[in-house]
Amino acid sequence: MVEGTRIASVEDVPEVGSYLFTAEDAFTNEREVILVRCETEPGIEAWINNCTHENQRLDRGSGAAMRDGEIICPKHGSMFDSCSGECDNGEAAGTTLPGVEIAVEDDGVFLSDDNYTFLRVGGVEDDGGPDSTSHIGF
């Protein structure tokens, strides 16, 4: 029996795209996490939903863009391997997405990372304001 919180069924994770959920880290920060299909066991990996180059969400609520087993940053086009999280091109070249430990068992995907607590399916609830990539703060 896997220890951890059930996040989704394996069938919930699309063949292309991602499954988005929100978890709380050890410092009580809400973090978006994506589940993506992977060719290596256990067949699904979990990554923090941010490009390593710039604070850009990979999945903006309708699934991450993917091509040939790679997650594509929607802003600069950097591509991250869905199995390793590594990027070898674009602005994020040489970086790796931060991973979140999961377990897959009996058609279920479980959050098994002691540094995170599952909160809910879907993204972090924002204040309803516009998304901005500006470096100017108000």
Per-residue pLDDT tens digits for 72-102:
999 999 999 999 999 999 999 999 999 999 9
Q: What is the pLDDT of residue 126?
A: 52
Q: What is the pLDDT of residue 3?
A: 86
- Beta-ladder partners of 118: 23
Q: What is the pLDDT of residue 130?
A: 43
pLDDT greater at residue 2 or residue 31? 31
Q: What structural domains and CATH numbers belong to the chain?
A: 5-121 (2.102.10.10)
Read off the pLDDT of each residue in 48-71 and give the average, rounded to a whole number. Answer: 96
42 DSSP assignment: T
Quick one: pLDDT band at residue 2, thresholds 50, 70, 90?
Answer: confident
Is residue 128 scored above 90 in pLDDT? Answer: no
Q: How far apart are the first and last CA of the chain?
A: 49
